[in-house]
Structure 1
C-alpha cells in the first residue's frame, strides 16, 4: 500500500432530517471532492460524526465510499476507539479488499486520555 500525499479533506457524513444516513448526499460530497482535485479523502473521522454512528452505519459509509469512488481517490478511514480491541477490528475491516475497488487505509488517532496520564515526555517516548 503506497503512502497518501497531498490534500486529503475529511468528508462529512451526510444525514437526512430524520438522522438516517443520506447515502445519495454522501455520494454528492465524494463527487465534489473528486471534482475539486483532492488527492485522497478521509471518512469517519471526528468531524464526520464517527462517534454518533453504529458499526453498521460505519460499514454503510465505508462501502458506499469505496463503491462510489471506484478507485478514483485513495480512502483513509478513521478507526479510532477507546477500546484497542475494537480499534484493531475496525482497522482490519477497513483494509479488507472491496471487490475491484481496492482497500482503504486505516488511521487510528492516539487516545486523548493517554497524554494526561503519561505527560508530554511519556507520549514522546511512546512514539519512539
Structure 2
C-alpha cells in the first residue's frame, strides 16, 4: 500500500483512545456549519418575495422588526436581516423583502452566499481534522 493511501479503520486504529474521542468531538462540532448552511439553502428555496406591511421598528443598536404578507394571505413577522434605518425613517412602507413565516432578509443572494461560506468552512475544517488525525496515527 502506498503511504498516501489509508482507510478509516487504519486511521482509527492508529490513534490513542483520547485522540479518537477528540477527533470524533471535532468532527461532530464541524457539523454545526453544515446545519446552518442547510438552513440558509432551505430559506433560499422556500422563501417568497414580498413587501413590509405597517411600520418597521428598528432598535438603535439592534435589528429591525416588522411584518409582511405571504402568499395565501398568511401573515409573517419577525426580525428583518440587512435592514438598518435612522429613527426618522422607521415609517417607510412597502420595503421589498425575501421572507418566510418568521424570518426576512433584504437580499436573497446573501442567504446563498452564507450557505456557501458555511459549507466551505465545515468542509475545510473536516479536512484539517482528518489530516491531523492521519499525521498522528
Query: Shorter-chain TM-score: what band?
Result: under 0.3
Normalising by structure 2, we get a TM-score of 0.21
Normalising by structure 1, we get a TM-score of 0.21
Higher strand share: 2
> Highest relative contact order (Cα 8 Å, sep 6+), 1 or 2?
2
* Greater gyration radius: 2
